[in-house]
Structure 1
Amino acid sequence: MHDGAPILVLREELRLITSLLDILKEEQQSLVAADIDKLSALTPQKSDLIGRMAALSGERHAALGEAGFEAREAGMETWLAAHGTPEDGSLWQQVLAETREAKELNRLNGMLINKQLAHTQSGLQALRPPAQTGGVYGPSGRTTPNTTSRGFLAG
């Protein structure tokens, strides 16, 4: 790879993080609207983007390592100081800012999911019959569950 490789990867990372932000915003709208079908369609897209972003980050780290810099985010800062233009620095800051925004949106979406789950569980609990306390003794002398049977009346 050549000296400009980290910035080339970074441009693709920005494109993907922007797409991820769009999906996270759609996910949030779908959560608020309880649109399960839309959520089901967005989940694989989100997973694919996250996987591709992780691979690109690995490529950028490898390019930094090959160029003699730390193969991690701190190495990007050092690389930018040595080889980057002001536009490259702005691009890096934009990637960092959009990554923070995506993490926050994902956190909020997780909270919405938990709230919806709690609401659903509460609704299911309300549909369950109340717990029966005490049972009926069976022929063995042990308590058996109190069940309502529909017998017939002889009369």
Structure 2
Amino acid sequence: MNSPARQYLQQFMHDLGQDYKAWRGLNALLLRQRQAILARNSEELETINQQIFGLYHKLSSTGSTRHQLLSALGVSTNNQGVQRLIRHLPAAWQESVGALWQQVEAQAREAQTANQYNGTLLNMQYDIVQSILNASEPENWLYQHR
């Protein structure tokens, strides 16, 4: 394996480990976000949201780097490309990198589910507040945002 390809692989594996940590952190923050939503703690929610956006930015950046690395290694820039890359790693690395990739994927799916759930909670709270606000003015029912 030539030197640039080896460096790309090392960067890929390093970033994958960093992504796993970031996704785990994001899932912990999404749980805290859900608790803050339910408690209607807007100050805590603002703090958590800033941390979440920081992790989103980091994950976006490493995703972009991964895209570039996969392209430079000559594999497609999707899950199939990553799987192909893993199959072509030295045998000693295949199992650990493959397992790490699966863990990253699982954390990402968990975050997507948690984010959707939190979004649903926020929408429900918004609808409740709108109903309360419009209860004193029944003539406004026609103009409610839905």
Matched, 1:114 2:123: yes
* Residues 35-86 of structure 1: CA deviation (Å, up to 9, x unaligned): 1111111111111111110110111121111122112332111111111421
Taking structure 1 as the reference length, the TM-score comes to 0.79
Kindly, what percent of the aligned residue pairs are identical?
Answer: 26
Name the counterpart of 1:45: 51
**How far apart are the structure 1 equivalents of 2:85 and 2:12?**
8
**How far apart are the structure 2 equivalents of 1:82 and 1:122?**
58
Deviates more, 1:75-84 or 1:99-108: 75-84
**Letter of the aligned partner of 1:81 in structure 2?**
R
Matched, 1:85 2:94: yes
**What secondary structure sits across from 1:85 in the alignment?**
helix
**Letter of the aligned partner of 1:19 in structure 2?**
G
**What secondary structure sits across from 1:70 in the alignment?**
coil
**Letter of the aligned partner of 1:43 in structure 2?**
N
Name the counterpart of 2:62: 56
**What secondary structure sits across from 2:114 in the alignment?**
helix
**Letter of the aligned partner of 2:124 in structure 1?**
K
Matched, 1:96 2:102: no
Shift of 1:4: 2.7
Shift of 1:126: 1.7
Shift of 1:12: 0.7
Instruction: Give matches, 1:12-27, under 5 Å.
Output: 12-27=18-33
Higher helix share: 2
Deviates more, 1:67-76 or 1:79-88: 67-76
Larger RCO (CA under 8 A, 6+ residues apart): 2
Please list every run of 5 or more consecutive structure 2 residues that lacks an aligned counterpart in the other structure: 140-146
Equivalent residues, number: 130
**What secondary structure sits across from 1:107 in the alignment?**
helix
Which is higher, the Rg of structure 1 or of structure 2? 1
**How far apart are the structure 1 equivalents of 2:69 and 2:15?**
9
